A and B are shown apart, each in its own frame.
Chain A
């Protein structure tokens, strides 16, 4: 087509559009008239195209600048005359009055006036918006061509700014210098306050006003934080809210209890969130939340927790919901929940100390209490009784602690959402009071608790229950710092249980040990397991020996059956089984009667054949014997003349003593000294055995002269031919066979021994560390030693120092001369 024409010809645009000279003033008159129509909502009479064309022409004629200014002026005039007066008409005198802080109007009047004002303002705003977008559309060509060319704000934005300047920032009236914007803020805040007080307000209305503030900017840059909303309203809103909640929290703390306070606080937080969503802007949410949290929680949490009805009260009364609330609140303002943690810890330690004190009191009060009625009783049983009492106290202590633990576990799970940091806090507090220096007996008590359960508690329980009990014990064990002390006690108690067959079930014992193994490691249970192994080996030895004896063909009807326990001296706490002060090596060997001696030698021979080079030490003080005793026909109180047979279960010493009387004619007696000389039983043990044989009413197999409670070295003993027991089997108890709380003297000893063994542990640890490091500064060495031993116990630093000194003396270590800090070198 183009080629066909040969010559390109472009038709020039017709001049008629732009060619005619446009009379600007005339055009403007038309346009401004149209704008007035638009503002008065009569747009349907106007032709958009015509207006658009007019503006288009003006701009084409390079009169854009003039047009822009005129439009601006027009809008300014319109707003400051028509709209402003409309708005001012809304200010009822009482609206003005009460925003000045004068009372005297009811909330309802205030609300109505406020709503009227807001409504008017909102109406003006929406009208303005609609009109301006129409204007902007008409003037689109100007926006597109002129404004972009000279980088002016679009006419719409300019008009919005005009609204801000001419309406919001105008004075409320001639005499009042406050601007409308401030009034608006006050009114909105007033409305919000009403809602906080429980009134219903027009949320939607406020929301539209907030939208208005949000879409206006304080400066020309239109940055987010310069929105009028942020600059003027939000700021004031936060300030008033903060003020409000400060007062409220003061009031609430004074007038209600902690639980109600918590409920109220969390409701307030929820309300403010909700308000931001429905009434204000979402962007305010984090800010107002922070204000509320600060005022209601952060600044008050301390008082709240400490309140009479605070955390302590809640714990005591199992207010799980309220605790949960407090936890929630605290978690909001503080990740680590310091206050709550502190309160909980304090409470645990308090309650723990109470339990400790109760246990101490229980164990101390008893010796005093039975004293009057026990006036005629001997000192021995009395002390015995108090020990018993203490044992009960010990078990009660453990049970109390477990109960406390249960309680807090429960609270922790239900109220604290199983919060990790709180768990550590709880654990630490338990450890604190269990290990508190005023209460050194926890290890012993826990061991006693296990002992008690092993002996009786477990009987008749299902496996599950047994497991639960053991687990509980382990939990407590976890808290104990001085694990070595516990090990010592446990060994001692276990030893008694094993040797005296007190344990209900070996299975359970083993289970317990394997639990401890999991919890505390191999080292801890090594010796305990060895004890069990000894027991098994002993059983084998016993049956082996029995076969061996039968194999010899010795058909002695009077043969004595021997049950033997061979114990490795290193693993068994034998020293603690002895009567105390006499040393193992010095312990005099008691003389066994002939019959026994033979079988004893027989076993020694048998044992030596199996294991050469081992020495057997006989510990008669730990054994027991079953004797069949026949009491002759003697006239009884009830007149019968029967021969009576009894199976007597007595200690080995008791058996030896009784055997002496076997060889004695019926009416002969032996003095204490004679018995002692013949048997060579340590005086202490002898005295105790004689006491149980001759004094205790139910097992009075011997008769003592004179009949006093105490055994004296000059006392004479007869065989009680007239003995009559109710049962065929009679157990002659020897004083202090069960596991009881130690007396103070015993305890000091145990502690001393424990300290000694700790000394070795420390030395071993130090040497291990130094061997590896060769040279090390003092501080570091101490630190590493502490670390290594943490699983077993917490040594005192002075003790470590002493051990290091002694190692230097023995030339394991030497000080490094001239080092800047104290350092040691390992000497191989």
Chain B
């Protein structure tokens, strides 16, 4: 449906307006983002190459992006160093993860 070429980077926008440009391949690790950007369906997100999350704020989204890169980086290695997660973000991150299907 959308003829335009897939861009290498996509934009993730948080509820408070922060924009994160990250690699498409990394972003697509999250199931919900992947589906939203799927070019065959032609949702608005797919055409604009950006996804706006009304329920996730910048701090959490940043952590999410960090995790997505972290996941991509260590996808094939065996001994993976722990990722540092501030305890106060735990719950919100969990909800975001559930929401995004990471």
A-to-B contact residues, CB < 8 Å:
1-2, 8-14, 16-17, 43-50, 52-53, 56, 130, 133-134, 137-138, 140-141, 144
Q: How far is B2's CA from A412's CA once the two chains are assembled, in angstroms? A: 65
Q: How far is B51's CA from A52's CA once the two chains are assembled, in angstroms? A: 12
User: Is the pair A43, B43 in contact by a Cβ cutoff of 8 Å?
Assistant: yes
User: Is the pair A43, B91 in contact by a Cβ cutoff of 8 Å?
Assistant: no
Task: Return chain A residues, CB-CB under 8 Å to B87.
Answer: 2, 8-10
Closest approach, in angstroms, between the C-beta of A133 and any C-beta of chain B?
8
User: Is the pair A137, B35 in contact by a Cβ cutoff of 8 Å?
Assistant: yes
Given contacts A13-B92, A17-B55, A50-B54, whether A140 and B44 have CB atoms under 8 Å apart is: no
User: Is the pair B101, A140 in contact by a Cβ cutoff of 8 Å?
Assistant: yes
Assess whether B70 is interfacial by the CB under 8 Å rule. no
Task: Return chain B residues, CB-CB under 8 Å to A10.
Answer: 87-88, 90-91
User: Is the pair B32, A52 in contact by a Cβ cutoff of 8 Å?
Assistant: yes
Task: Return chain A residues, CB-CB under 8 Å to B101.
Answer: 140-141, 144
Q: How far is B36's CA from A48's CA once the two chains are assembled, in angstroms? A: 5
22 A-B pairs with CB atoms under 8 Å apart are: A10-B87, A10-B91, A13-B92, A13-B95, A17-B55, A43-B43, A44-B2, A44-B43, A45-B44, A47-B52, A48-B35, A48-B36, A48-B41, A48-B44, A48-B45, A49-B45, A49-B52, A50-B54, A52-B32, A52-B35, A52-B36, A140-B101
Task: Return chain B residues, CB-CB under 8 Å to A11.
Answer: 88-89, 91-92
User: Is the pair A44, B47 in contact by a Cβ cutoff of 8 Å?
Assistant: yes
Task: Return chain A residues, CB-CB under 8 Å to B91.
Answer: 10-13
Residue of B nearest to A51 (CB): B43
Task: Return chain B residues, CB-CB under 8 Å to A14.
Answer: 57, 92
Assess whether B17 is interfacial by the CB under 8 Å rule. no
User: Is the pair A140, B43 in contact by a Cβ cutoff of 8 Å?
Assistant: no
User: Is the pair B51, A141 in contact by a Cβ cutoff of 8 Å?
Assistant: no
Q: Which of A12, A16, A47, A144 contacts B45 (CB 8 A)?
A: A47
Given contacts A43-B43, A140-B32, whether A53 and B88 have CB atoms under 8 Å apart is: no
Q: How far is B31's CA from A141's CA once the two chains are assembled, in angstroms? A: 10
Q: Give the top 9 A-B pairs by smallest Cβ distance, nearest first.
A: A48-B43, A48-B36, A137-B35, A11-B88, A17-B55, A134-B41, A43-B42, A48-B45, A44-B42
Q: A9-B87, A43-B42, A49-B54 are in contact. List 15 more A-B contacts (CB 8 A).
A: A9-B88, A10-B87, A11-B92, A12-B91, A17-B55, A47-B43, A48-B43, A48-B51, A130-B40, A130-B41, A133-B41, A134-B41, A134-B43, A137-B35, A138-B35
Q: Report B26-63 CB contacts with A as 1/0, cut-off 8 Å.
A: 00000110011010111111110001111101000000
Assess whether B81 is interfacial by the CB under 8 Å rule. no
Assess whether B1 is interfacial by the CB under 8 Å rule. yes
Residue of B nearest to A34 (CB): B43
User: Is the pair A140, B31 in contact by a Cβ cutoff of 8 Å?
Assistant: yes
Q: How far is B80's CA from A463's CA once the two chains are assembled, in angstroms? A: 83
Closest approach, in angstroms, between the C-beta of B92 and any C-beta of chain A?
5
Residue of B nearest to A8 (CB): B87
Closest approach, in angstroms, between the C-beta of A22 and any C-beta of chain B?
13
Given contacts A11-B88, A52-B32, A52-B36, whether A141 and B41 have CB atoms under 8 Å apart is: no
Given contacts A17-B55, A53-B54, A56-B99, whether A46 and B43 have CB atoms under 8 Å apart is: yes
B side interface size, CB within 8 A: 31
Q: How far is B87's CA from A613's CA once the two chains are assembled, in angstroms? A: 126
Closest approach, in angstroms, between the C-beta of B15 and any C-beta of chain A?
9
Residue of B nearest to A2 (CB): B87
Task: Return chain A residues, CB-CB under 8 Å to B46.
Answer: 44, 48
Q: How far is B93's CA from A11's CA once the two chains are assembled, in angstroms? A: 11
Residue of B nearest to A135 (CB): B41
Task: Return chain B residues, CB-CB under 8 Å to A17.
Answer: 55, 95
Q: How far is B32's CA from A8's CA once the two chains are assembled, in angstroms? A: 32
Residue of B nearest to A11 (CB): B88
Residue of A nearest to B90 (CB): A10
Q: Report B1-39 CB contacts with A as 1/0, cut-off 8 Å.
A: 110000000000000000000000000000110011010
Residue of A nearest to B88 (CB): A11
Q: How far is B1's CA from A43's CA once the two chains are assembled, in angstroms? A: 10
Q: How far is B36's CA from A593's CA once the two chains are assembled, in angstroms? A: 131
Residue of A nearest to B45 (CB): A48
Q: How far is B46's CA from A137's CA once the two chains are assembled, in angstroms? A: 13
Closest approach, in angstroms, between the C-beta of B34 and any C-beta of chain A?
9
User: Is the pair B41, A43 in contact by a Cβ cutoff of 8 Å?
Assistant: yes
Task: Return chain B residues, CB-CB under 8 Å to A8.
Answer: 87
Q: How far is B91's CA from A17's CA once the two chains are assembled, in angstroms? A: 13
Q: Which of A16, A47, A53, A144 contacts B44 (CB 8 A)?
A: A47
User: Is the pair A137, B41 in contact by a Cβ cutoff of 8 Å?
Assistant: yes
Task: Return chain B residues, CB-CB under 8 Å to A52.
Answer: 32, 35-36
Given contacts A11-B88, A11-B92, A49-B45, whether A44 and B1 have CB atoms under 8 Å apart is: yes
Task: Return chain A residues, CB-CB under 8 Å to B41.
Answer: 43, 48, 130, 133-134, 137
Q: How far is B87's CA from A144's CA once the two chains are assembled, in angstroms? A: 27
Identify which of B53, B88, B91 gathers the most chain A CB atoms within 10 Å of its CB: B88
Closest approach, in angstroms, between the C-beta of A181 and any C-beta of chain B?
28
Task: Return chain B residues, CB-CB under 8 Å to A133.
Answer: 41
Q: How far is B45's CA from A53's CA once the two chains are assembled, in angstroms? A: 14
Q: How far is B38's CA from A17's CA once the two chains are assembled, in angstroms? A: 25
Q: How far is B90's CA from A53's CA once the two chains are assembled, in angstroms? A: 21
Q: How far is B90's CA from A2's CA once the two chains are assembled, in angstroms? A: 13
Q: How far is B44's CA from A501's CA once the two chains are assembled, in angstroms? A: 111
Q: How far is B19's CA from A493's CA once the two chains are assembled, in angstroms? A: 113
Closest approach, in angstroms, between the C-beta of A631 and any C-beta of chain B?
119
Closest approach, in angstroms, between the C-beta of B64 and any C-beta of chain A?
14
Q: How far is B38's CA from A45's CA once the two chains are assembled, in angstroms? A: 15
User: Is the pair B35, A140 in contact by a Cβ cutoff of 8 Å?
Assistant: yes
Closest approach, in angstroms, between the C-beta of A582 and any C-beta of chain B?
107
Closest approach, in angstroms, between the C-beta of B10 and any C-beta of chain A?
13
Task: Return chain B residues, CB-CB under 8 Å to A134.
Answer: 41, 43
Closest approach, in angstroms, between the C-beta of A57 and any C-beta of chain B?
9
Task: Return chain B residues, CB-CB under 8 Å to A12.
Answer: 91
Task: Return chain B residues, CB-CB under 8 Å to A144.
Answer: 101
Task: Return chain A residues, CB-CB under 8 Å to B51.
Answer: 48-49
Q: How far is B86's CA from A463's CA once the two chains are assembled, in angstroms? A: 101
Q: How far is B52's CA from A230's CA once the two chains are assembled, in angstroms? A: 46
Q: How far is B53's CA from A10's CA once the two chains are assembled, in angstroms? A: 22
Residue of A nearest to B86 (CB): A1
